[in-house]
Amino acid sequence: MSKPIYLDNQATTPLDPAVLESMLPYFNNKFGNAASTHHSFGHEAKEAVEKSREIISKELNTSASEIVFTSGATESINLAIKGVSEKLKEKGRHIITQVTEHNAVLDTCSALERRGWEITKLPVKQDGRIDPRMIEDAIRKDTVLVTIMHANNEIGVIQPVREIGDICKRHGVYFLVDASQSFAKISVDAKEINIDLLAFTAHKIYGPKGIGALFIKKKNPPVELELQMDGGGHERGFRSGTLPVALIVGFGKAVELCSRDRDAENKRLKQYRDQLIDDIMTAHTDVILNGSREQRLSNNLNLCFPGIEAETMIMNMKNIACSTGSACTSASLEPSHVIKALGYDTELAHTAIRFSLGRFNNADEIAAAGKMIINAATAAKQKKSNYL
């Protein structure tokens, strides 16, 4: 196939045409500032923002006033972790997380650690999932926050957030969930799961880049955060700054489409994913699937190709867009911290490749991609054997 096959949808997704169409009027005719409510232009913008806020809150079964717009999940995570830590520093300076979190969480925790907070980073099992009992055992009197992602950005493994939420509620500890990879793809009821804070973004669900949100629970109990940005008191005071109305409109539309088509889309992507896994692992029986196959996002497969450097494989698959791990750490030569956390040595971790499928992939592309991946692995093995 002459056109590259895009299998890096966990890095970012293409903008859905319906999302683009919904946004366009707010780049020209409907240009008002949502905070300028003394005239029709501002009212029009505010109504559009609040409509999207309602759509997003409905997806999480929360109140619309509990949704705070940010520039993306990284900002949401920073606001949540730093906001809780600084607000509750008199109660305690202990945070619990896991070793396979995204760097947005790990680096933020490290920044706090340098300022005197204590961070407990719990290991995961070989399937990439954490044992909730370890979290309960790690909670102390001075613990103020547990932060565990819902679905891993590299291996797609889904964590037992319901059990973790129950544990945090029993101990009176705030629970933050990074739902960047799962929001709107997996149905989440924030109230039922006892989530206090939930970070997510639009560009992982066929929405625009540059817009995300943070769910901040308002009652039972209300979450208190130290403000991280001053200047105008927008978004309940949590995030000052003029709202990007067009991006927010696109965010709402993207959520609306995901909610409408979620079951059918997940079923189709799971079929594609399983086809790729089975075809590749049948042709190359030494290939390793990283993380639980059952508790996994429908669109993710992360594979180790023993004895073949991931960079070599990717060079041999020029018509497939994929990655060796998180897009946020792609410039690093270090092996993935997520893969190493599964118990693999550095050499094996360097062979891991993430393929993430999406809405606009079709059966022909998946079949072609499977053949390219199999052929690339075969060619790499043959080349290596020639040198031996």
Asked whether the predicted pLDDT for residue 329 surpasses 70, the reply is no
Residue recorded with tokens 């994913």? 273
pLDDT at 100 over 60: yes
% of the chain surpassing 70 pLDDT: 97
The mean-pLDDT minimum among 99-108, 145-154, 249-258, 331-340 falls in 331-340
**Measured between alpha carbons, how far apart are the two ends of the chain, in Å?**
33
* Count of residues making up the chain: 388
pLDDT one-digit tens code per residue, 202-252 = 999 999 999 999 999 999 889 999 988 888 778 887 898 999 999 999 999
pLDDT band at 387 (very low <50, low <70, confident <90, very high): low
How far apart, in Å, are the Cα atoms of 328 and each of 336, 339, 346?
11, 15, 20
Residue 322 designated active-site: no
Strands 143-147 and 174-178: parallel
The more confidently predicted of residues 332 and 287 is 287
**How much is the mean pLDDT over the chain?**
95
pLDDT digits (tens, 9 = 90+) for 19-32: 999 999 999 999 99
Q: What is the CATH number of domain 17-255?
A: 3.40.640.10
pTM score, whole prediction: 0.95
Residue 290 has pLDDT above 80, yes or no: yes
pLDDT at residue 327, rounded to an integer: 56
3 state SS of 302 = strand
Q: Is the model's pLDDT at 59 over the cut of 60?
A: yes
Q: What pLDDT score does 367 carry?
A: 97
Q: Where are the domains of the chain?
A: 5-12+262-387, 17-255
Residue 23 has, within 13 A of its CA and on its CB side, a CA count of 21
Catalytic residue among 109, 168, 258, 328: 328
Helix axis angle, 363-387 to 245-283, nearest 10°: 50
The per-residue pLDDT for 230 is: 80
| Over residues 284-289, mean pLDDT | 98
The encoded tokens of residue 92 equal 């305690």
Topology of the domain comprising 5-12+262-387:
Aspartate Aminotransferase, domain 1 (3.90.1150)
